[in-house]
């Protein structure tokens, strides 16, 4: 009886890895052994950086809100505290967008919070 090698499935697996490594430089895109390491590392980084992106954007929003609120003689932490006390449910992403693109609307929010 001939020896079974499962060659079609192995070749398909290797092709899939090489396909994922398309665009990498040199042997990392051509040879299975190196492409396997490169794609594993790439997947690790992409998973890790999807989490990091969320942190980075939140930090950016906080910085933008803080800069906008300072013009009204408030600090970021006091502003957020006043928001929660006034029961205003606007997230940081929207607040940062308002601070950058709609200064009048942001000023109205700050004034309403100062009254409350």
Q: Tell me the chain's radius of gyration from C-alpha atoms.
A: 26
Domain tally for the chain?
Answer: 1
Token duo for residue 100: 């950058």
Does any domain span residue 96? yes
Q: 1 pLDDT exceeds 80?
A: no
For residue 47, give its domain range.
7-115
- What is the per-residue pLDDT across 24-67, written as a single tens digit (0 to 9) for each? 999 999 999 999 999 999 999 999 999 999 999 999 999 999 99
DSSP state of 23: T
Token duo for residue 16: 């899939």
pLDDT class for 108, splitting at 50, 70, 90? Answer: very high
Does any domain span residue 1? no
Three-state secondary-structure class, residue 70: helix
- Give residue 114's pLDDT: 87
User: Taking the CB of residue 74, how many other CB atoms lie within 10 A of it?
Assistant: 18
- Give residue 3's pLDDT: 85
Q: What is the pTM of this model?
A: 0.78
* CATH number of the domain bearing residue 14: 1.10.1900.20
Does any domain span residue 2? no
CA distance 79 to 42: 40
- Give residue 45's pLDDT: 97
Does any domain span residue 64? yes
Does any domain span residue 83? yes
**CA neighbours closer than 13 Å in the CB half-sphere of residue 2:** 3
- What is the per-residue pLDDT across 58-87, written as a single tens digit (0 to 9) for each? 999 999 999 999 999 999 999 999 999 999
- Give residue 40's pLDDT: 97
């Amino acid at each position: 009886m001939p020896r079974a090698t499962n060659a079609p499935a192995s070749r398909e697996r290797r092709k899939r890895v090489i396909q994922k490594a398309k665009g990498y430089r040199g042997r990392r895109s051509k040879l299975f052994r190196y492409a396997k390491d490169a794609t594993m590392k790439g997947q690790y980084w992409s998973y890790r950086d999807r989490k990091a992106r969320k942190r980075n954007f939140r930090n950016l929003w906080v910085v933008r809100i803080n800069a906008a609120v300072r013009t009204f003689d408030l600090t970021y932490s006091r502003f957020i505290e006043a928001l929660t006390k006034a029961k205003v449910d606007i997230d940081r992403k929207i607040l940062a967008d308002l601070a950058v693109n709609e200064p009048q609307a942001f000023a109205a929010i700050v004034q309403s919070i100062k009254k409350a």
